[in-house]
Amino acid sequence: MRPLDAGIEQFLEAYSATPYVRELGIDYRGHGPNWAEMALPYRERLIAFPDEGFIASGAIFALADTTAGLAVFSALPQLEPIATLDLRLDYLRPATPGLDIVARVSCEKLTRRVGFVRGACHDGDPERPVAHITGTFMRTTAP
């Protein structure tokens, strides 16, 4: 049984209550055996430059990291600590001002010590991504 199957409500509640996740307003949207989807609401204080109205890339990066972490947790055989080793975002186009940003990330491969993730962000249409996400996570208590 996977960790999110057992006590999923409790885990997701705690994950969403992570202070920085809550501060940015990141919401849980869904998850499966090796994937997760979360959303970043459009908010004034997340804007990079007031004259353009685009969400700061740093806020999108935090959404990607948070969603990728949940994807790895979804894939783990039991609940254990993980840490982001590296994460890369390719910003394909600016997100449309006023629209929420959705990240969907899969843990494509899980080894004894590492989880490999891949995903994308969009602002309403998954066929028109705003960013690609690639990264690796360490299972920090693995020998």
Partner 1 sequence: MIDPRLSPFARMLAIEVAEDGPPLILRMPYRPFMIGAPERLHGGAVAGLMELAGSTALARALEGSDARFKPISVTVDYLRAGAPADCLAEARIIRLGRRIAHIECHAWQDDRGRPIAAARMNLLIDRA
Is residue 86 within the footprint of partner 1 (CB under 8 A)? Answer: yes
Query: Residue 45 gets which letter from DSSP?
Result: G
Question: Based on the number of CB atoms within 10 Å of its own CB, is 91 exposed (0-12), middle (13-18) or buried (19 or more)?
Answer: middle
Interacting span for partner 1 (CB under 8 A) from 29-37, 61-69, 72-80, 105-113: 61-69
Contact 38, 67 (CB under 8 A): yes
Closest separation in Å from C-beta 119 to partner 1: 15
Pattern 35-54, partner 1, x by CB under 8 A: ---------xxxxxxx----
Rounded least distance, CB 64 to partner 1, Å: 8
Which is nearer to partner 1, 50 or 77 (by Cβ)?
50
Whole-angstrom distance, CA of residue 9 vs CA of residue 22: 16
- What is the separation, in whole angstroms, between the first and last Cα of the chain? 22
79 touches partner 1 (CB under 8 A): no
List C-alpha distances in Å: 44 to 38, 72, 113, 124, 138.
19, 30, 39, 19, 34
CB of 73 to partner 1, least distance (A): 12
Q: Say whether residue 142 binds partner 1 (CB under 8 A).
A: no
Give yes or no for residue 84 binding partner 1 (CB under 8 A): yes
Q: Are 115 and 69 spatial neighbours (Cβ–Cβ below 8 Å)?
A: no
Residues that bind partner 1 (CB under 8 A): 18-24, 44-50, 55-59, 61-63, 65-66, 81, 83-91, 94
